């Protein structure tokens, strides 16, 4: 039997495994992620990377454990396979990377947005007071959810700072993908509230959020210049904390 002290140390470790994603039996990506909520991860990744366009494209998600990691198989509608043929991507990237495997610089920089992006109504933008309430509530949310210190967290709040969904992962991109998958499974509209991520903000996070029509993204560290530019191009409202101060960048 594991000693209590050893068990506690084991539980506190950040877990990272290889996760292989296939769609209709065709390999799409291999990513490093935490081995939890893998159905959410697979769905969110497929949506945020444009592999599928809707939760309704998916018929089933099956997770298999392997000695070297995990395999997640998405069974999708036959018409979706044509979309996949237009996108050549075979990924083997670390958990901190959201662009590994893209076959050109142009593809990496493309925001790949839906043709019709919803216009954000000003009344759907959270106030700074609401954002601060959500930020202050996050530690208790992490604790109650059994989160591990050191993981990146992604949470979705309504405009009254009520938490509607929470996911975490060793990688910030994977944390956002898991949140997207969770919201999609719940059929929660992503432009009626805001996402809060405990990381810096980069271009690829903006691209993922914009593709799913989030109205507002909040990160706990400052953004890159490209992230700000991308947020403005996509009309995504962007708030970030810089030296502890909340600032609106887009």
Show which residues are catalytic.
Answer: 97
3-state secondary structure 48-96: HCCCCCCHHHEEEEEEEEECCEEEEEEEECCCHHHHHHCCCECEEECCC
Task: Provide the CA 238 distance to its chain's centre, in angstroms.
Answer: 16
- Write the DSSP symbol of residue 115: S
The CA–CA distances, whole Å, from 164 to 7, 26, 187, 206 equal 31, 33, 12, 21
Strands 216-219, 194-197: parallel, antiparallel or unpaired by DSSP?
A: parallel
Whole-angstrom distance, CA of residue 192 vs CA of residue 157: 9
Q: Which of 4, 2, 43 is nearest to 21 (CA)?
A: 43
Whole-angstrom distance, CA of residue 60 vs CA of residue 73: 8
């Amino acid at each position: 039997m594991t000693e209590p002290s050893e068990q506690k140390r084991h539980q506190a470790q950040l877990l990272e495994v290889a996760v292989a994603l296939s769609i209709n039996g065709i390999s799409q990506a291999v990513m490093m992620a935490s081995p939890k909520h893998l159905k959410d991860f697979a769905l969110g990744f497929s949506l945020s990377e444009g592999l599928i366009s809707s939760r309704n494209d998916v018929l089933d998600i099956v997770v298999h454990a392997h000695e070297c990691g995990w395999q997640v198989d998405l069974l999708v509608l036959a018409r979706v396979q044509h979309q996949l043929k237009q996108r050549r991507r075979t990924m083997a990237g670390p958990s901190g990377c959201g662009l590994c495997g893209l076959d050109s610089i142009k593809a990496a920089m493309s925001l790949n947005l839906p043709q019709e992006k919803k216009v954000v109504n000003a009344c759907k933008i959270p106030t700074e007071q609401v954002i601060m309430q959500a930020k202050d509530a996050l530690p208790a949310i992490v604790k109650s959810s059994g989160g591990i210190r050191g993981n990146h967290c992604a949470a979705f709040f309504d405009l009254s700072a009520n938490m509607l969904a929470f996911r975490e992962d060793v990688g910030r991109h994977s944390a956002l993908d898991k949140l997207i998958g969770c919201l999609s499974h719940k059929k929660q509209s992503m432009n009626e509230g805001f996402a809060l991520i405990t990381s810096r903000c980069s271009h690829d996070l903006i691209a993922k959020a914009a593709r799913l029509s989030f109205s507002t993204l909040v990160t706990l560290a400052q953004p890159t210049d490209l992230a700000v530019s991308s947020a403005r191009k996509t009309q995504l409202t962007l708030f970030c904390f810089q030296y502890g101060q909340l600032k609106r960048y887009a």
